Amino acid sequence: MTSRVGKVGHAAGRRFVGVLALSVVPLLGMQLAGCRTSEDDIERWTHTAQGPRKLVSVLTHDKYSLEQRVDAAMALVRMKPRSGKAIGILGQDDQMGLLAALESLTPGERQKIVTEMVPRLEAAMKQEPPKAQAGQAAADPSFPYKDAAFGLLTHADGGLVQSEELKQRLRVALADWCMTNFGDRLDDSSQLYGVEQVLRELGAPGVAKLPVQIDSNAKKIDKMADLVADLGDDAAKLEASKRLVQVAAEIDSERWVKQKSPLVDAANKASKLNPTPDQFKAQLDQYQEEELLRIFASMKKVGGKPVGEFLLTYAQNKDKPEKRRAAALAALEGNVDRTDAQQVARVLDIASAADTPDAIRDVALRRVGELPRKLVAERLYGLFGNENWKIRWVAAELLLKMGDTSNVDEFMRKISGVRGMAITEPLRYGAILGELKGKEKGPDLADKYAARTYAVEARLSALGYYYEHGTKEMLAKVAPYEEDRSRTPRCLPNVADCEWQCAVGEGQAQQLKDVTTLGEFVKYCVKPAMEKRSPAPPKK
């Protein structure tokens, strides 16, 4: 009996051990599977159809180790786009990507994973792009890591990264990444987030190092100038201003021309062109001018004292080509230092000098018009005596537009007795009278200065108000002047485009009438314009 019981017990023991063994094997299998997920599967899943789903599962489940979850996150980062979409980072309609997966975690779990990801992203963003071969650009391996870093900073209103220290590390890494190979990376459309988008998010710290990249051989100087002008702090703008001056001086030099000669020569040979020496010189001159004007455009955006001084000096240099001098003045728009009396005086000197070409003077006067009236009025009035009526015309327009109705009396006194007035002048001055701000209204000003007590130049300018603003209902106001025999001004000899004529009639019946008196000015010019114009409807 005892022996039999012993045998039965022994058999039962063997069965228990077998059951225990069967139950242990699956557990070992699960543990081994966990190791294989870490070591074997994660990389393979970056290439399989269901890989993104499996990687997100590893990332979001706490049954996996922290290292496995971070490995899965980084695998999602480096996963190649599918059908043009970065599904590893962004996911797709039926599947979360890295950013959404991190957002789904509790703050504590997310913080652990992000803390481990940041140093890996920092290291990966420092990868150098491989050199292009056979004329084809190679893919930049750092792009997905930069995209992931930017996504971490901005997704969910920046809530994925809770630590300010980690946020700052990512900002610094992104700024450094943008400064590396800036020109090429700027234009690469394969990125999820472009360089400009990243820098605009980073703001001033992002572009702090951008000015040091500005040199005569740099790519995308225009975009650098844009970004510094829009985002840079005062220090960055000042440095960019200095660098742009250096580049402009370099391009404007003979040394630059000699350096570029082989490039132009090679381009000619490639196009099977054989220019003469003079033609080749003209090609180089054109190339230099185009590059210089591009830099002037960048200078206009950045501004700063170095830029202002360079452009003014260039515009004053009579040895420089007229087109380039005018372009330098155009680039000064908004960049003349109103607090610098010397700069203001230099602009006025260019505008008022007798030997300044008209094209340059015109641009200089535009710059004068940007300055406070009290700084420039006296010098502008000084131009009223210029024998070229167009110079007075531009100066007079500026003076009127820079002031208000309280300045009209001074203007009318200064315009009285000027020599060589053209009919264009009073018509334009009268139009501006109706646009001025102040206590007095346009019709009142017109009636006041059209009186015989004023000089004919002032009277014509006043009646010019009705030419631009008068309506049929106002004809009675100008009718008394039709018989006025006051002589109109006479054009000076050999002055271009100066005339005293108005077109009367319509279509084929139209004819030009000489205007020799104030009455004829009203009859042939002012009244026909008024008769065509109905009063404006009352404001509701």
Give residue-wise pLDDT tens across range 91-149: 998 999 999 999 999 999 999 999 999 999 999 999 987 676 655 667 899 999 999 99
Q: Report pLDDT digits (tens) over 410-458.
A: 999 999 999 999 999 999 999 999 999 999 999 999 999 999 999 999 9
Higher pLDDT, 114 or 4: 114
Average pLDDT, the chain: 91
Contact 276, 327 (CB under 8 A): no
Alpha-carbon distance values, 405 to 396, 421, 436 (Å): 14, 23, 6
Nearest to 114 by CA among 157, 162, 158, 150: 162
Over 170-193, what HEC string results? Answer: HHHHHHHHHHCCHHHHHHCCCCCC
- Which amino acid is residue 266, in one-letter code? A
pLDDT at 310: 98
Q: Report pLDDT digits (tens) over 318-351.
A: 999 999 999 999 999 999 999 999 999 999 999 9
pLDDT at 128: 83
Contact 512, 500 (CB under 8 A): no
Nearest to 350 by CA among 294, 312, 300: 312
Tell me the average pLDDT across 168-177: 98
pLDDT at 540: 58
* Percent over 70 (pLDDT), the chain: 91
For the entire predicted model, the pTM comes to 0.82
Q: Report pLDDT digits (tens) over 7-16.
A: 444 444 444 4
What span, in angstroms and rounded, lies between the C-alpha atoms of 136 and 127? 19
* Percent over 90 (pLDDT), the chain: 83
What span, in angstroms and rounded, lies between the C-alpha atoms of 296 and 314? 11
Lowest-confidence pick of 71-80, 124-133, 275-284, 384-393:
124-133
Lowest-confidence pick of 126-135, 200-209, 288-297, 322-331:
126-135
pLDDT at 38: 57
Is 20 a residue whose pLDDT tops 60? Answer: no
Is 26 a residue whose pLDDT tops 70? Answer: no
Which residue, chain included where needed, has tokens 């000076």? Answer: 492
